[in-house]
Amino acid sequence: MTRAFPAPPPVGDQSLYDLQYRRFAAPVAALAQEAGLCELLLERPRTIPEAAEALGVTPRAAEAMVAVVAALGFARNDGGGRFALTDLGRTYLLPASPFGRRLGRGDDPILNELRSAFRSGEPASPLAVAMEALPEAEVREFIGRMHALTLPAAGSLARQPVFGGVGLLLDVGAGSGSLSAAVAAAHPGVRCTLLDLPEVCAIAAENIRGYGLEDRVATRPADMFRDPWPGGHDAALFGNIFHDWDPASCAELARRAFEALEPGGRVLLHEMPLAETRDGPLTVACFSVAMLLYEKGKQYTLSELEEMLGVAGFVDFESAASHGYYHLISARKPG
């Protein structure tokens, strides 16, 4: 039995993201105490690369920690990219303070995972970046969770004006197919191709048939890094993909998108950007912590995404709020 793709919900889902991802805030603050970040920022303001060097961790790990601590109000960006401890941080996070509190518990499983990820710079429990190695049951469970996560935003995304000019859409790393299903349901003239690993495409095809959209949404099983992409598209969509990967991998995806698009075509990123000051929003900063634990990327700033797309040859970079914390980020292939 088929069902209509749901209309966008009447309210945003920021509170659900807050519940899911802010659970990392307390363990990160505890690790910041444990690692000596608070004393480091008290000594003198430091940039994130300087903090990374002093702590002996990767810049990605340092940024995730500093962004959460700053979003909580314990540190602040001085406007020049250096972070200093605030009065709040000095009062409650320093052991020397009469009001200092030791955060975290030794048996906290998230704190233990964070310790491992911060030391190694590698995800403690890889998910999307290790999809090929996951058992089928875990793949289905992960894609199901991602479907529930992206479904509320999908309908709002499809209402973005850019899709009115799209005829052929390539959805790279399409997962459950929720975003393309929303676009196809809202724009009868659009034809979509979902590109993902074979086992993921099988799940997406089930969802697409469930929405009765199989005549306009097709699957293309492929490894997005190794296999060729079909060409001739008006737009290439990446929903929650760049944040999974390191900058070099994102640059390769941008390059491949540029080649797959027709002149004038647009690359589209559906992401939750980190503030340029790297101090929030808190939930987005916590989402970066999730990327540190489970993937190879982070929540990028808009300027970082613009630079990646620009190096690939894209121009006319734009960003528009889409749904909740999400933005639709786009750029055009000249021609």
Identify the CA nearest to 122 among candidates 278, 247, 297. 297
Q: What sign for the dihedral angle of Cα 108, 111, 113, 116?
A: negative
> What is d(CA 275, CA 265) in angstroms, rounded to the nearest whole number?
27
CB 235 within 8 A of CB 262: no
- Secondary structure of residue 178 in the 3-state scheme: helix
Q: Which helix (H) or strand (E) holds 169?
A: strand 168-172
Burial class (CB in 10 A: 0-12, 13-18, 19+), 109: exposed
Cβ-Cβ contacts under 8 Å for 169 (sequence gap 6 or more)? 163, 180, 183, 190, 191, 192, 193, 233, 234, 235, 236, 237
Q: What tokens were used for 206?
A: 């089930």
| 3-state secondary structure (DSSP) of residue 171 | strand
Phi, psi of 94 (to 5 degrees): -90, 130
What are the tokens at 302? Answer: 């808009």
Cα three-residue angle 297-299-305, rounded to 5 degrees: 90
Catalytic residue among 243, 270, 323, 327: 243
Is 243 an active-site residue? yes
267 in helix, strand or coil? Answer: strand
Question: Please, is 28 exposed, middle or buried when counting C-beta atoms within 10 Å of its C-beta (0-12, 13-18, 19+)?
Answer: buried
Tokens linked to 305: 């995404």
Q: Write phi, then psi, for 313 (nearest 5 degrees).
A: 115, 0
Looking at the DSSP assignment, which residues form a beta bridge with residue 332?
Answer: 266, 315
Q: Which residues are catalytic?
A: 243
